[in-house]
Amino acid sequence: MVEVAVVGAGGYTGFELLKLLALHPVFKIGRMFGTKSGRIEGIYPGLRGVVEGEIFPAEVEEIGKFELVFLAVPHKTAMEFVPGLLERGCKVVDFSADYRLKRENYEKFYCPHRDPANLEKAVYGLPEFYRSQISTAQLVANPGCYPTAALLGLKPFLPYIEGGVFIDAKSGVSGAGKKLSETTHFCSVNENFHPYNPIKHRHSVEIEEKSGVKVTFVPHLLPITRGMEVSIFARLNSEVGERWNPSEVARQFYRRERFVRVMEQPVGVKQVAGTHFCDLFASRNGDHLYVNVVIDNLLRGASSQALANANLMMGLPEEMGLPLYPSLP
């Protein structure tokens, strides 16, 4: 057994991670840390009798006693912990944006970076593309939820498109986290649907940096709790012939990937809610490409992806403990 530390246990992604760790055959929850004291079953009564325990103040000295650490914390906060944890020999999976981007891009969209040395060492945690690097990493930067879906949809087609890419993305309200705001209030969300931070959203730079293409990215808030749908629109280059089939291209590209499923019909969020799967549909209209991608924003977009990364870092099978069954109906 490997005892792990979970920092930020009281948030939505921390909660999802605890559920996964409770069923993991190797990882064991060693200690939970957070900004608020109390017991985890006091915050989430549904964990009573399943995952129970005290939430301790987040201090590097205590967190650093564990071989593996999950930082389910906001940006800026991760930088306060990572240097000390790496010095103590911990392996760290960071949920925040602090170690995902090149320094100039991070500072443009977030804040001044206080740990540039470790930023250079971090590995981007999208296993389909960085699996070998993740396996030998000490620090893995878990991707954002929108970039996860967008990059999995974009990557198979990069050799075949020209010009910019348009991404119309939609997420459930849980993507905004637990902090209350006017836009995520029930009265604002219920029976409503709207874009937010169009074009200027900070996940756009993450998609651009990891794909190498210019994107126009517009996220929307759906009146649902969980799930994410990303629609990608692009123009195919002149080398693509009439018989070129985007579905076959994607199927061949992901032929060895268990957790990316290429479908023959458009995909919806309900079929992946509660799972680690990314489902993808691709079609074309002449020289126009359309890609439709769905993931669970809290799992594949955060917690189960963090667990997959941790499995690789610890030399375990990537799929160990990952959720497979959708929450239906």
Domain ranges of the chain: 2-142+302-313, 146-295
Supply the CATH classification number for the domain 2-142+302-313.
Answer: 3.40.50.720
Strand 288-295's sheet: what is its strand order? 194-195, 215-221, 161-171, 228-236, 288-295, 278-285, 260-262
The label of the residue with tokens 């809610």 reads: 273
Q: Each residue of 26-77: pLDDT tens digit? A: 999 999 999 878 999 999 999 999 999 999 999 999 999 999 999 999 999 9
| Per-residue pLDDT at 78 exceeds 80 | yes
Residue 183 and residue 285: Cα distance in Å, rounded? 36
Residue 284 and residue 244: Cα distance in Å, rounded? 9
The pLDDT value recorded for residue 185 is: 85
Q: Is the peptide bond before 329 cis (omega within 30 degrees of 0)?
A: yes
The pLDDT value recorded for residue 175 is: 85
Question: What pairing do the DSSP bridges indicate for beta strands 161-171 and 228-236?
Answer: antiparallel
| Per-residue pLDDT at 180 exceeds 80 | no
Q: Which two tokens stand for residue 58?
A: 């987040």
Q: Which two tokens stand for residue 310?
A: 């941790």
Residue 311 and residue 206: Cα distance in Å, rounded? 24
Phi and psi, residue 224, nearest 5°: -130, 160
The label of the residue with tokens 């079929």 reads: 271
Quick one: how many helices (H) and strands (E) in the chain? 12, 15
The pLDDT value recorded for residue 161 is: 97
CA 129 to chain centre: 14
Name the strand (E) or helix (H) holding 291: strand 288-295
Beta strand segments in 90-178, E? 91-94, 123-124, 139-141, 161-171
The pLDDT value recorded for residue 297 is: 97
Asked whether this chain's domains 2-142+302-313 and 146-295 adopt the same fold, the reply is no
* Terminal-to-terminal C-alpha distance of the chain: 35
Question: What pairing do the DSSP bridges indicate for beta strands 228-236 and 215-221?
Answer: unpaired
The pLDDT value recorded for residue 254 is: 98
| Amino acid making up residue 324 | L
Residue 79 and residue 115: Cα distance in Å, rounded? 6
Mean pLDDT of the chain: 96
| Amino acid making up residue 150 | A
> Domain 146-295: which topology?
Dihydrodipicolinate Reductase; domain 2 (3.30.360)
Point out the residues that are catalytic: 145
Share of the chain above pLDDT 90, in %: 92
| Per-residue pLDDT at 294 exceeds 90 | yes
Q: Each residue of 95-141: pLDDT tens digit? A: 999 999 999 999 999 999 999 999 999 999 999 999 999 999 999 99
Q: Each residue of 154-169: pLDDT tens digit? A: 999 999 999 999 999 9
Half-sphere exposure of 125 (CA within 13 A, CB side): 35
Q: Each residue of 225-235: pLDDT tens digit? A: 999 999 999 99
